[in-house]
Amino acid sequence: FKTGAQDVLVGELVGCPFYMGKAQFELWQHTDLTIDVVDGRGASFSLEIPEGKRFIVRSEVCAVD
């Protein structure tokens, strides 16, 4: 994955950087995101499909002070 000026580093997952597009980040910046792995198959091509797993993202809006 090649990153550019329009990508924002949101955090790291087990040492791997997690990026989001700048426009998307503007909408999600006040949200706690939890990325998890669950049993099942994703809806599109993804690296985890052969393992019978899929990624799921859960979100919770944070209070803005």
Residue in the block written with tokens 């998307």: 24
The enclosing H or E element of 25 equals helix 22-28
Neighbours of 37 (CB within 10 A): 11
Q: What contacts 49, CB < 8 A, 6 or more positions away? A: 41, 42
Find residue 38's DSSP bridge partners: 54
Confidence at residue 50, expressed as pLDDT on a 0 to 100 scale: 76
Mean pLDDT confidence for 5-33: 92
What pLDDT digit, counting tens, does each position of 24-57 carry? Answer: 999 988 999 898 888 887 777 777 777 788 888 8
Say which residue, 9 or 52, is predicted with more confidence.
9
Confidence at residue 64, expressed as pLDDT on a 0 to 100 scale: 67
Say which residue, 25 or 63, is predicted with more confidence.
25
Confidence at residue 65, expressed as pLDDT on a 0 to 100 scale: 64
What is the C-alpha to C-alpha distance for residues 58 and 41, in angstroms, rounded to an integer?
Answer: 17
Residue in the block written with tokens 């997952």: 13
